[in-house]
Amino acid sequence: QVQLVESGGGLVQFGESLRLSCAASEHTFSPYTMAWFRQAPGKEREFVSAIAYDGRTVYYSNSVRGRFTISSADTKNSVVYLQMDSLNADDTAVYYCAATLTQSRKDVRRDSFYDFWGQGTQVTVSS
């Protein structure tokens, strides 16, 4: 069973930056598609960003495009980062890393597409 370990959350002020990391416990022959989702109090979990198994195709939600950057540390996407700049109060949430070995890009924005999930890391932005 693949385990995902997130790190990098914390408390920052409006306009500041944070970088989240997610590491998969198993190095596999096939590359992962990795994604970040977030869930704010009282709201449903929402898609934030993803990097496809090809290591090049990236996706962002409209709310973070231009402020957040997803990247991978290796060709298998076993370690990915989410650089978050210009943070605001609406970014406050628990951020979850998700992964799948499914070689598809069709449903990367859907949480049901992913097989493995991290425990979540809290990001709080104070105004």
- The pLDDT value recorded for residue 106 is 86
- The pLDDT value recorded for residue 22 is 97
Distance (Å, whole) CA 49 – CA 121:
15
Average pLDDT, the chain: 95
DSSP letter at 113 equals: G
Check whether 12 has a pLDDT greater than 80: yes
Q: What is the pLDDT of residues 72-93, one digit of tens each?
A: 999 899 999 999 999 999 999 9
% of the chain beyond a pLDDT of 90: 87
Local confidence band at 61 (pLDDT 50, 70, 90 cut-offs) = very high
Check whether 27 has a pLDDT greater than 80: no
CA of 7: how far to CAs of 24, 29, 95, 97, 103, in Å? Answer: 12, 25, 10, 10, 26
- The pLDDT value recorded for residue 92 is 98
Local confidence band at 53 (pLDDT 50, 70, 90 cut-offs) = very high
Distance (Å, whole) CA 59 – CA 53:
12
